[in-house]
Amino acid sequence: MRKKLIIFLPALLVAITGFRYKPADAVVNYLNTSEVLIFNKMEYKLVWSSHPATNYYKQEYIPVKETLDRHKNLLLIDYLLIDTPAVNIAKIKAGEIKERMKTDVNAHFQLIENAAKKECILDFLLSVGGGNSPSVIEWSGYHYQNYTDKSGHKGIYLFGVSTTAYDDDVMNYLKRLKTDRQGYLKELVKYQVPDIEVK
């Protein structure tokens, strides 16, 4: 069963593995969303997509003035065609973060479940390098929900937001995050996720 569950990876972990993005002109809008999304009064453009398995689709968006190699803000939409409660997928990701906490002193998470709506939010922090003085640190909020797309496909819809800091900005970022995090989570909870349709 576990092999069939494709795990939703944060951008930071993808970067660690040495993943390379496709050129901008190769981006495929697999989920038929708008090419531009507005979140927290910021405009994001579709810059990368992937269809790594027959039942799995990924799309990422960054602000117009940022670049893929060192972006500070990211939106992601993942769609996994699988018949299971959304919280089951979130718990797998939470388990990965818990394991990472053994080697990443900055890693931590909280999983907030709304059983009535059959959805949940995974709120987590990860870092790279330097222990208490990391070279990269990233906060992410992942909103998981059961969803049926326009064509009737049932699956798990993940809408996520990530913010990242590098090198000398890491400590200031952590100070800002104390207040910024709550604002992002409030926006994430109330955000009307884009309708999607698997092509």
Contact 122, 144 (CB under 8 A): yes
Is 99 part of any domain? Answer: no
Element (H, E) at 11: helix 11-16
Measured between alpha carbons, how far is 115 from 106 in angstroms, rounded to an integer?
Answer: 29
Q: Is 123 part of any domain?
A: no
Per-residue confidence at 129, pLDDT binned at 50, 70, 90? confident
DSSP single-letter state for residue 103: T
Q: Are 194 and 35 in contact (CB under 8 A)?
A: no
pTM, two decimals, is 0.88
Name the residue range of residue 17's domain: 2-83+130-137+149-167
Examine residue 181 and state whether it is found in any structural domain, yes or no. no
Number of domains making up the chain:
1
pLDDT digit string, tens, across residues 43-60: 999 999 999 999 999 999
Tell me, yes or no, whether 196 lies in a domain.
Answer: no
The answer to whether residue 118 sits within a structural domain is: no
Is 124 a member of any domain? no
Residue 22 in domain: yes
CB atoms inside a 10 Å sphere around CB 83: 8
In this structure, is residue 30 part of a structural domain? yes
